[in-house]
């Protein structure tokens, strides 16, 4: 099966660093899509890498919690690369760790605003063009913390469960118009951000409880994202696709 995204423009939020967003951008770009990155910090390192690989790309600095800035950023992207048909809602705050009583209301609010409302803001900004085109792919980065819960991760977990509701509802709202919406639930993926709060002893323990005995690489997720963004995945919608090496299987 050959995936060809030529003629499509993909928007990836949170692709500035060396994390999943960058891997997604490269994979979608190599499949032929034009790539736009939207991040709260400068993403020119990622766009330079994309251009080195012959991929048409641009980036805009934007805080996804600011609805007006998001609308403005999306219209700038449209002027440069054309209307967006593929949206990867990847930007998130991942580092809120602590039991319920230790997570301040301010942190809760920030996590909900970025991870959940921010994803809705970006989706709202691209949705009318997808409806008009009669084709669209919307993906939300959830997590097994969203499907299974996670001790010490109440706010993160709640927002990652929230985007599953968004994906399912949008699948129903856009299905007749050729738009699919899905959520992806990875286990641990080896990114710099994940490495900052998973200590080596925790990592070893978690790997032992995982069928493959390994964590995902960013490319594992990017390959799945590329498939779900393609025409070939047109009948998959409203789903949560777990990609965790079997970490969520029952072990004893
Ligand atoms: N790494 C993992 O183990 C793992 C596991 C499951 C799910 N995920 C999900 O995958 C996604 C990417 O994770 P990652 O490890 O690559 O993280 P990352 O920290 O590398 O990427 C997150 C990006 O979001 C951007 N961002 C944060 N707040 C923003 C805002 N307000 N506006 C715009 N951009 C903002 C950051 O600048 C950063 O570039 C996240 O949604 C995360 O929840 C990651």
Q: What predicted TM-score, i.e. pTM, was given to this entire model?
A: 0.98
Q: What is the CA(39)–ligand 1 centre distance, in A?
A: 10
From residue 92, how far is each of 15, 40, 101, 114, 189 by CA, in Å?
A: 11, 10, 22, 6, 14
Q: What is the CA(92)–ligand 1 centre distance, in A?
A: 4
**Confidence (pLDDT) at 228:** 99
Regions of the chain with pLDDT less than 50: none
**Confidence (pLDDT) at 169:** 98
Mutate to test the pocket of ligand 1, among 41, 188, 189 (most ligand atoms within 8 A of CB): 189
Provide the CB-side half-sphere exposure for 90 (13 A, CA): 29
**Confidence (pLDDT) at 251:** 81
**Confidence (pLDDT) at 171:** 99
**Confidence (pLDDT) at 222:** 98
**Confidence (pLDDT) at 30:** 98
**Confidence (pLDDT) at 252:** 78
């Amino acid at each position: 099966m050959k995936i060809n995204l030529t003629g499509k423009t993909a928007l990836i939020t949170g692709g500035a660093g060396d994390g999943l967003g960058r891997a997604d951008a490269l994979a979608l770009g190599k499949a032929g899509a034009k790539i736009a990155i939207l991040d709260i910090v400068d993403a020119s390192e990622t766009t330079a890498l994309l251009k080195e690989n012959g991929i048409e790309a641009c980036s805009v600095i934007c805080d996804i919690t600011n609805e007006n800035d998001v609308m403005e950023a999306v219209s700038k992207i449209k002027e440069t690369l054309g209307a967006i048909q593929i949206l990867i809602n990847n930007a998130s705050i991942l580092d809120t760790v602590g039991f319920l009583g230790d997570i301040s209301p301010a942190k809760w609010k920030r996590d909900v605003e970025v991870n959940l409302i921010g994803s809705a803001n970006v989706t709202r900004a691209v949705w009318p063009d997808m409806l008009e085109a009669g084709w669209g792919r919307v993906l939300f980065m959830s997590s097994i913390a969203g499907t299974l819960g996670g001790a010490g991760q109440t706010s993160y977990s709640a927002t990652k469960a929230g985007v599953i509701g968004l994906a399912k509802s949008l699948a129903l709202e856009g299905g007749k118009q050729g738009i699919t919406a899905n959520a992806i639930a990875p286990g641990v993926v080896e990114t710099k951000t994940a490495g900052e709060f998973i200590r080596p002893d925790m990592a070893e323990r978690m790997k032992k409880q995982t069928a493959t005995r390994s964590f995902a690489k960013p490319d594992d997720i990017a390959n799945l994202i590329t498939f779900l963004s393609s025409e070939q995945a047109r009948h998959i919608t409203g789903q949560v696709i777990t990609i965790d090496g079997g970490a969520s299987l029952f072990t004893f």
